[in-house]
A and B are shown apart, each in its own frame.
Chain A
Amino acid sequence: MKIGERDITVLITDTGREVLKSLNLDDSAMQWLYVQDTDDMGIWARVPREDGNHLVLIRWDFVLALDFPAGETKTIGIKG
């Protein structure tokens, strides 16, 4: 499963919240983030800052749960 390129609710550990606080970012436990990509290290989230979007790594060690809508199905028929 690939979960990049979508808005996801991320539940963050207390240590993760401390890290976010150190970066002067929202340190809420439950965050709605745009996940641009993921890799072995963790989640790469797009975070708007004063000078534009930044990419922030949230390590998997700090992620307790993820929740996102899978989305609707859109169908068309091109031939009978």
Chain B
Amino acid sequence: MEIAVQGWRSSPAEWDAVRGIPEEELPSLTNEQREVARKLGIPEQDYARSVLAGRRTQDVLLQKTQALAVFVENRIARDHPQVRVTRVVLDVVEHRFTVELEFGGKPRILRVDEDIVDDYFDGGSVDAEAKLARIFDRAVLGVTA
């Protein structure tokens, strides 16, 4: 199974945290990033801080995506072991997960709002759990029908 996070954003906490990092500990910009910083009039150091905050937040988002992948896999394995979860991807800009399932060579792609996943994992919401379960149960019905 492939798990991915497409794109960056930086949480306020990470944005604050990278403000105080000494210049020598910031990531080196690629030539392309340096060129963009120049064109947009952004100091290279500020651009590097943004890249670092983005990468750090991306790691946290990757953990969340992995947690969703495990949830989906367990949910599906319990009732429909013949269905395979092939890919779980978070689109950072859209705040939406794409989950790709496969059964007998037939693909099924579904999208889940990040808010529902946050409500379940962070808020422990019973409603969110029921909603997620319903989404995946319907998707499995679609793929096995």
Contact = CB atoms under 8 A, between A and B. Distances in A.
B80 to A, nearest CB: 17
B95 A75 contact: no
Nearest to A77: B2
A48 B66 CA distance: 35
Nearest to A5: B9
B94 interface: yes
A23 interface: no
Interface residues of B, number: 36
Contacts, number: 88
B120 interface: no
Contacts of B92: 70-71
Chain A contact patch, size range: 20 to 34
B10 A6 contact: yes
Given A7-B50, A76-B62, A77-B3, A70 B42 contact: no
A69 B2 CA distance: 24
Given A5-B15, A5-B57, 4 more contacts: A9-B40, A34-B10, A70-B6, A75-B4
